[in-house]
Structures are given as structure tokens and as C-alpha cells.
Amino acid sequence: MSPLTRRLLVIGADAAGMSAASQARRRQSPDRLEIVAFDRGNFASYSACGIPFYVGGQVDDLESLVVRTPDVFRDKYSIQVHLGHEAVEVDLDKGAVLVDDRVNARRRWEGFDDLMVATGATPVRPSLPGVDSAGVFGVQTLDDGVALRSYVRAQKPTRAVIVGGGYIGLEMAEALCALGVETHLVDVADQPMNTLDPDMGALVAGALEEFGTVLHLGQEVVRFETGAGGRVAGVVTAEDTIPAELVVLGLGIRPNSALAESAGIRIGPSGAVAVDRRMRTSHEAVWAAGDCAEKRHRVSDRPVAVALGTHANKEGRVAGINLGGGYATFPGVIGTAVTKVGPLEVARTGLGELEAAQAGFVADGVVSESTTRAGYYPGAASIVTKLLHERETGRLLGAQIVGGPGSAKRIDVFAAALWNEMTVADIAGMDLSYAPPFSPTLDPVTITARKAAQA
Amino acid sequence: MSPLTRRLLVIGADAAGMSAASQARRRQSPDRLEIVAFDRGNFASYSACGIPFYVGGQVDDLESLVVRTPDVFRDKYSIQVHLGHEAVEVDLDKGAVLVDDRVNARRRWEGFDDLMVATGATPVRPSLPGVDSAGVFGVQTLDDGVALRSYVRAQKPTRAVIVGGGYIGLEMAEALCALGVETHLVDVADQPMNTLDPDMGALVAGALEEFGTVLHLGQEVVRFETGAGGRVAGVVTAEDTIPAELVVLGLGIRPNSALAESAGIRIGPSGAVAVDRRMRTSHEAVWAAGDCAEKRHRVSDRPVAVALGTHANKEGRVAGINLGGGYATFPGVIGTAVTKVGPLEVARTGLGELEAAQAGFVADGVVSESTTRAGYYPGAASIVTKLLHERETGRLLGAQIVGGPGSAKRIDVFAAALWNEMTVADIAGMDLSYAPPFSPTLDPVTITARKAAQA
């Protein structure tokens, strides 16, 4: 390699890191830019969001969750991916990363000209007694998913407790119920899905119970009981002890920003690595993207940490274009999310009531119920839509949807409306598609926006 | 009634007319405003778009297509609805409408202070020999639907020919195939669905054949053969004679503007009644809405005639608010439409290639194929998306989608983007919902917009 060759070192070989690497490669040939990626796990470039479905068995083939293998990156993109290699220290003055090669059990310094930090996030583990018992799982990496599925198959637990009723918690509850495991869900809040307003979250509770989840709401976990062989035996709350041979933590995730922080890179108020619009950190040669990187919320105008593959992909691409000598910016997020709870579809975008108040908005909420298709058309299902708008201006601030098949993707219309700072009156006037198999004469989006405009 | 009571006369008691009447009533009590509606048909306030599904038997209950009966309008809204009454002449100087009461076989003049014209549209009947044979049906009103269904049940035709491959034609083809009728479809174009670009229309042809429709494309009908008892016996094109005991015309619709025109009300270039943004016609006391009223296309900035229940509902509401003393405007349309062809979902919004050129745009088209869900998630179906954008600015001009279950409603995201005059680059940056059961990591909307932005 010529001495003019620059070296891009990527920490974390999943969506953000490998999108960045691929984009940089598109713009710079191997003789101009060497690209090396390290990941502490055993997989590169996979769909973490598919893990609950892999555990539940809807998706049976582990390989299908892997978008590209290290071989493909090497052969097609001339990108070297080293799995089982953990970056343990960054020295910005030296321009080098200390890498712990677990495969060969040795450490070495790897130099870089540019550094891409894509270290992801880790499930929150509360520091409670017994949390380190065997059988207590967090679910974030594909390795976590493999470990959990193996445990379920080998230990055949008859009772499981999910701690936390967020996206991962709900998806895992469904997966475990489908496997015939008696599944309990504990949440400190009075409703699952605290990313929804309580009235919308209440609709989700029923769906969880319908496929057999036993809910323990408004209960805080105080410790985990450990049984024979150091294995978890139960979850103890202030009110109750729930026996369990398997515990899944669904308490959210925390950005893996410690490595960057200890190198002196600025961490934002959200706890994630602070970046500018081009995804550059406080150090000129260091870039960050994905779950470890902070995002700007376009509605609240606040920095947030959100772990989602779709953001990781987009941010990684932006970083990679810039690393390759191009120009791109990441426009921020608005908190759009979607999940499935049995047959119930759940989606949200923008701000909820509490978030809106915290951001200083005075807002009004409106809820309406409609059907996913014309009422007379076979398969029409109920859809409940909630909109939050600024009282003074009518500007949309957020939307939440809970309903039957065909409901959830309507959230993207509200996402587009939020993106363009539309008022609810303007949304009600939009020309949305109508035919009996797809919506009532007025789409639920229109109906709810009209109701909000009249409120 | 006091002499101060005004009288609103509504011609046409379907979506537009009755939305207007209901909104006017909300704002004006019966002692301030008398409201009388006349309709030449036998039903008020029904879903015309549901007719193909009624004929096909997916919807079995005729009543379920009727949103509100005249009794409900009378009892709940104090609105008098007279069915079987055709308005045959409007005298603007006298402020009266000559009504042909078919029930009692007599004519009378009905006075008005304000007149709401909601006369709808009629299927185009080509003036070809034999077009008036028994068994040649247009499908627009619920009466048409009842007549067609009765004919099918009584005559049990074994072969049917659909003339025209638009929305109604395709839906009727599916309905008749489902009933076991051998169904042929003739279209003068080389592809069905001329509201799609030809490359996208080609995808629809396959779906039609899959459920048994025999296609005769690129063929113009020259006459209809009449057989025993004046019944249709076949459809003759330049190339072929296709025997048939039933013919359904799907050649589009024509706005029913003749009544208004003969009264001296201005008709627009589209052939529909010209209206201002408040839905007022060229005569101060006369308003129009729905299929008979002209609309402004927001992308081409041209007047258009579009027959669609969702517009009729919105326009009627706008007219009714204004008639009731309020203020509302109709913001125009962008040509959003959706339909189902067997399991294939088909949707479009904005301008197609030809329309864009006619409107003076220099545009580029981009097509991409993706999946409706994460590729590894059960039920993931193929979705083909085409975007048209202005070459110079990147502004989105139109979108078309053809794909499996879960595809079509994504058109509404493009509709929202068009509404806000977004560029394809901006669309690619939007925060759309992602979870494996609902989309790949990047939604097909994002993927296609990104590809267009790079084109």
C-alpha cells in the first residue's frame, strides 16, 4: 500500500459501522483508503430487530438475519472485518485503538487516520441483587439472541418474566408465549408501552393478556432470586415474588459511549456521543453513528438517544459519504416507531403528552376510532388514532395508532406531516388514497386530523 | 315556517350532496334553513365504490353500502330526501328547479334560495352500434349495481366482456371471475390501468391473467353484437369478435354537468362544473361538489374531473360549511388512487410520465423493487415503486406502487410528500417507521426516494 493511503478504522461492524464503511468505499478505492472494522461480537451487519422473531421461531434461519458476512465485505468491498475483537482504548494523540483480539487472546494497537465509532448500545441492567444470575438476559446483539434461544431450547423454562414493557419486552413476551412458556411481564408503570400515552398503552395491555401474558403493572423490581446452580429462580417486587427460570430485561438500552468518553470525545446530554450534522464528533478525525450517537429530535428540538436500525443505517451512510470525501447531513429524527403485539399493531411518531409538555408545548390531544377498511368490506378492523397538536397553532406534535392489521403503517403519513410541520387542518385536507379494501371513504388519518382541527 | 327561513335545495343525494346538507344543518337550525334533497335514483348516501364488491359477493348486504337512509336524514337532521325525483331544469332567475317526480309521475317547480348541485357522474357509453343492447352495463350508481347483480343472478351469463381496464374494469373483472364467469377484458391501450405508466401497468396485466381474466389489449371496440331478445351477444373489435352475454363498460366517467350548463352556469375545461375554492359556481346562489364539480390538480396546476367518494365527501363538507354561513375551502387534489387486483395492490399519486410532460415538467423516473416486510420475516411480499421527479430540482412529481399485501397504503406517504412539494432527497431523509413485520430496515419509500436522489 502506498504511503498516501489513509486508514479508516471502524469500531462496531453492524448497521451504522458497515453502512459507513461501504459508503466510504464507494467513494475511495482501496489504494486510497484502507478500511478495517472490529467487532467484539461474532456477527457483522445483522438485523438486531429480528432477534425476538428468531427467539420465537417465526424466523428460523439465523443466517437470514445477517445482511452481509465478513467474507462478502472482504471480497466485494475490500473491507476487512475482524469479529471477536473488542476495542478497549482509543488514543487520539497517537491515532490508534487498542484492540483485544479474543480469538487469539492478545492485544494490539491499530492505527487510524479516521475513526468511525459505531459501538451500539447495551440493554440496561439494573444494579439489583441477583441481576447477574444465569438465565437473566438482555437482548440487543445477535449474540444475545443466540444465547437466549439456546437457553430456551436447552433449559426448557416453564416460566419466564419479562422486566419492562417496551418494544423488546412486548416482542419477547409474544415470542415466549408462542413457545408455550408461561410468561409474566412486570412494569413499573401502570401501562405497558410508556412510549405511548397511558390511554393508548391501556389498549395494548389487553392484547398482551389475550395471548397469555400475565401482567404485573405498577410494580417495581427490587431483586432477583437465585436458585440452584446460580440460576435465576424468581423476580421479587415490592408486592410479589414471581417464580421464573428465565428473565428477559426490557428496560431500554444505554448508548455505548464509554470508550469514546474516556478518549476525551464529547458526550451529549442524552448520554450518547455528540455529533454534528455530518456525524462528526468533537474530535476532527472521529465520527460516530447509530445507537451510540446522539440525534436531534426535530419536534422537541432536543438531543435524544434512540436505538433503531433504520437510523443507524442512515447515519452510517451520512458518515461514510463524508469520510469518503463527499458531503451529506443527517436531518434528525422524530421518534417514529412501530411494533406488533399479537394481531394488534402499535405505532407512534413525534411527541407524546408528557414529552410535549417537557418540550414546552401547550398541546391538545384528540382520539378517534375508525376502521382499517370500509366498514362493510371483509377484514375491516378497528383502528384507534390519537393526535397531539399545539393548541395555539394547530401544528401536529405527535400521533399514536393502535389497531388491527393494516393500521400501523399509517403512522408514516403522520411522520411525513410532522416532518413538514403541517397543521391538523392541512392534514385533514390531504388527498389520501381511498378504496373499500384499503380505507373508509375518509381515511382514519383524515378523520382524526379533521376531529383535531375542530377541537 | 317563518318567512325568514331560507331554502337550500340539493340535487343529488349521495356523498357530496348529503355532506353539504349535513354540514349546512350543523350550522343552521330548521327554522333558519329548510333543506330538501332530490335524487333520481333509489338510494341516498351510499358507497358507490363498494359496488364491484357487492356484485362479486364479497359484500352481500346491500344495506351495508348505504351510509344513511332518508328516514335518518329526516329524523336526525331535519333534511327531506326525495328519491326517484329527477331535476330536469334549473331556472336561476326564478330560483326554482323543475323536478320530475317519478314515483307519482308528475312534474313540479321547487323554489330555492341556495342550490347545491351534486349531480355526480355517468359512465361513458361510446356511441357504437349495439351499445344499448340489454346486458350492457355501466357501473356508477347503486341502482346500476343492483341491476347488474340481478342480471348476473337471473341470466347466469357464462361469458362476460369488460371494456376498459381502469379501476372499475379491473374490479369488475375480479368480481366476475370470482363468480365463475369466463371474463375477457378489452382495452385500446397495450396495458391495463392507463393511470399508471406502461411499465407499471404491465405488472398488473399478469395479476389479471392469474385469476382468469383473458386480456385483449391494444384493441379498440367497434360495435356490440345483439342477439336474441335484444340482448348483447358479443363485442367486436378490429381484430376479433368476443362472444359475451354480459358487457360491463369501464371507460371512465363523465361529469353530469349538462343540467348546470343549460342553466347558464359555467363549465370548466375538464367538462365539470367550474367552482371557486369555496365550491361556489359562477352563479352566486349555486354551489357544486363531488363528481360533477371541477377540481384543481395541485401538481399540474390544471383543472381536472375526478370521480371519487373521498373528494365528494370533502367538497360537500366545504360547500355545506359555506352554505351554513361558515368559511371553508377545498385545497385541490393530487390524483391519489388505490385498487386491488387479486392479491396485487396498485396505487398512484401525482403525475405519471405523460401527465408530467403535458404539464411542462422535465422529469426523470426511477423504479425500485423491495419487500413489504423484512426479507426474512414471514409474509414479506415484493413491492415495486416508481417515482417521478423534476430533473432540475428533484421535486417529487408522482409515485406509483404495485405489490403484494401491505404495499398500497404507502402511496399516502408520497401523497403527503407531494402535498408539501418535497424533493426526493428530503423524502429519503424522513423518519419512517421500521420493524421487521412492517418493512425492511429502510422502507421501500425511503429506498426508492434515495435511488431517485442519486439518479
Q: Does A327 reach chain B within 8 Å, measured CB to CB?
A: no
Give the neighbor-by-neighbor strand order of the sheet with A79-83: A79-83, A33-39, A6-11, A114-117, A286-288
Please identify every residue of A annotated as catalytic: 49
Q: Which residues in chain A are closer than 8 Å to B375, comparing Cβ atoms? A: 64
Taking chain B (455 residues) in consecutive chunks of 10 residues, what is each chunk's mean pLDDT?
84 97 97 97 88 88 89 96 97 98 96 98 94 93 92 95 94 93 96 94 94 96 95 95 96 96 98 98 98 98 96 98 98 97 96 97 98 96 98 98 97 98 98 96 97 93
Chain-chain contact of B441 with A58 (C-beta, under 8 angstroms): no
Asked if A328 is an interface residue toward chain B (Cβ–Cβ < 8 A), one would say no
Q: Do the Cβ atoms of A413 and B408 come within 8 Å?
A: no
Which of A63, A412, A447 has the highest number of chain B CBs within 10 A, making it the mutation to test binding with B? A412
User: What is the pairing mode between strands B382-390 and B396-403?
Assistant: antiparallel
Is any Cβ of chain B less than 8 angstroms from the Cβ of A376? yes
Task: Give helix B70-77 / helix B15-27 axis angle, nearest 10°.
Answer: 10
Nearest CA in chain A to B445: A412
Give me B166's grid cell. Answer: 381502469
Tell me the torsion sign for CA atoms B289, B292, B298, B302: negative
B309 reaches A (C-beta below 8 A):
yes
What are the start-end ranges of the H helices in B51-128? 51-56, 70-77
| Cell of residue B133, nine digits | 343492447
Backbone φ and ψ for A93, nearest 5 degrees, come out as -70, -45
Cβ-nearest to A441 among B313, B339, B377: B313
Q: How far is CA B256 from CA B86, B253, B305, in A?
A: 13, 9, 11
SS3 A206: helix
CB neighbour class for A60 (10 Å; exposed up to 12, middle 13-18, buried from 19): exposed
Instruction: Label residue A67 by pLDDT band (50, 70, 90).
Output: confident
Q: Comparing C-alpha atoms, which of A395, A445, A399 is closest to residue A423?
A: A395
b/e for B327-363, b at 16 or more Cβ within 10 A?
Answer: ebebbbbbbbbbbbbbebbbbbbbbbbebbeeeebeb
**Burial of residue B127, with CB atoms counted within 10 A of its CB: 0-12 exposed, 13-18 middle, 19 or more buried:** exposed
Contact status, residue A372 vs residue A347, Cβ threshold 8 Å: no
Cβ(A44)–Cβ(A69) below 8 Å: yes
The partner residue sitting opposite B338, judged by closest CB among A331, A347, A434, is A434
pLDDT computed for residue A133 by the predictor: 96
Q: Considering the entire predicted model, what is its pTM? A: 0.95
Give the per-residue pLDDT at B326. 97
The answer to whether B246 contacts chain A (CB < 8 Å) is no
Which residues in chain B have their CB less than 8 angstroms from residue A373's CB?
Answer: none
Q: Which pLDDT belongs to residue B455? A: 82
A228 to A162, A235, A317: CA distances (angstroms):
21, 15, 48
Where are the strands (E) in B282-424, listed by range? 286-288, 295-296, 303-304, 337-341, 344-350, 363-371, 382-390, 396-403
Residue of B nearest to A58 (CA): B378
Q: Chain B residues with CB inside 8 Å of A295's CB?
A: none
Find the closest chain A residue to B422 by CA distance. A420
Instruction: Inform me whether the C-beta atom of residue B122 falls under 8 Å from chain A C-beta atoms.
Output: no
DSSP A300: T
A62, A377, A431, A451: best mutation site toward chain B, by most B Cβ within 10 Å? A431
Q: Does residue A124 have a pLDDT over 90? A: yes
User: Would you call A331 and B433 a contact, using CB atoms and an 8 Å cutoff?
Assistant: no
Task: Evaluate whether B114 touches B9 at the Cβ level (below 8 Å).
Answer: yes
**Chain B, nearest residue to A47 by Cα:** B441
Residue with cell 403535458: B358
User: Residue B421 — left, alpha, or beta (φ > 0 → left; ψ -120 to 50 → alpha)?
Assistant: left
Q: Considering only CB atoms, which chain A residues are within 8 Å of B313?
A: 441-442
Q: Look at residue A338 and give its three-state secondary structure.
A: strand
Residue with cell 406531516: A417
Does the beta carbon of B65 lie under 8 angstroms from any beta carbon of chain A?
Answer: yes
What residues have CB less than 8 Å from A333, skipping those under 6 apart? Answer: A295, A296, A297, A298, A304, A306, A311, B431
- pLDDT score, position A186: 97
Beta bridge partners of B399: B349, B387
Q: What is the pLDDT of residues A297-310, one digit of tens each?
A: 999 999 999 999 99
C-alpha to C-alpha distances, B398 to A215, A332, A370, B357, B455, nearest whole angstrom = 47, 25, 28, 12, 16
Q: Determine contact: A70 vs chain B, CB below 8 A.
A: no
Residues of A in contact with B405 (CB under 8 A): none
Instruction: Quickly state the pLDDT bin for A2 (edges 50, 70, 90).
Output: low
Q: Are A434 and B376 a contacting pair at CB < 8 A?
A: no
Our measurement of the distance from residue A244's CA atom to the centroid of its chain's CA atoms, rounded to an integer in Å, reads: 26
Of A420, A426, A302, nearest to A361 by C-alpha is: A302
What's the confidence (pLDDT) of residue B2? 65
Contact yes or no for A259/A121 (Cβ under 8 A):
no
Q: Decide if pLDDT at A1 tops 70.
A: no
DSSP symbol at B273: B
Q: What domains can be seen in chain A, in order of their start residue?
A: 6-40+47-121+254-323 (3.50.50.60), 125-251 (3.50.50.60), 337-454 (3.50.50.60)
Cβ atoms of A94 and A109 within 8 Å: the answer is: yes
Instruction: Give Cβ neighbours of residue B139 (< 8 Å, ≥ 6 apart).
Output: B51, B52, B55, B123, B145, B148, B168, B172, B248, B249, B250
CB contact under 8 A, B436 and A50: yes
Is B167 at the interface with chain A, CB within 8 A?
A: yes
Distance CA B384, CA B395 (A): 20
Q: Mean pLDDT over residues A134-162, rounded?
A: 93
State how far the alpha carbon of A359 is from the alpha carbons of A350, B20, B276, in Å.
Answer: 12, 40, 41
B49 contacts chain A (CB < 8 A): yes
Q: Are strands B303-304 and B295-296 parallel, antiparallel or unpaired?
A: antiparallel
- Is B107 within 8 Å of B100 (Cβ atoms)? yes
Catalytic residue among B49, B72, B147, B222: B49
The pLDDT confidence band at residue A444, using thresholds 50, 70 and 90, is: very high
State the pLDDT confidence band at A377, using cuts at 50, 70 and 90: very high
CA-closest candidate to residue B249, choices B180, B307, B315, B187: B187
C-alpha cell at A58: 417465526
Distances (CA, A) of B354 to B187, B351, B365: 18, 8, 11
| Mean pLDDT of chain A, nearest integer | 95
Per CB-CB distance under 8 Å, the chain B contacts of A412 are: 410, 412-413, 432-433, 443, 445
